[in-house]
Amino acid sequence: MRPWGPVPRRKHIQGLRALGFDGPFSSGRHQFMVRRDVVVTVPNPHGRDIGLELLSRVLRQAGVSRREWESV
């Protein structure tokens, strides 16, 4: 069970892959991941964890609920 809170970038990518996203792919300033017709920007926190607010925004963009995120 993945905790709801700040998460390292690598764990964030692993979680999105477990939810069916492919990538990350490079484009411009940020990488992105794709699942069917949903494209999600992967934050680049420069060595720090992805904070709860940013995690919430990315998961909302991805159409992933908190419960779904915690279950992977």
3-state SS of 11-40?
HHHHHHHHCCCEEEEEECCEEEEEECCEEE
CATH class of 9-71: alpha beta
pLDDT at site 1 = 52
Residue 72's pLDDT band (boundaries 50, 70, 90)?
confident
Q: Per the confidence metrics, is the pTM higher than 0.75?
A: yes
Distance CA 70, CA 72 (A): 6
Residue-wise pLDDT for 5-49, tens only, equals 899 999 999 999 999 999 999 988 889 999 999 999 998 878 789
Residue 69's pLDDT band (boundaries 50, 70, 90)?
very high
Domain boundaries, the chain: 9-71
pLDDT at site 24 = 95
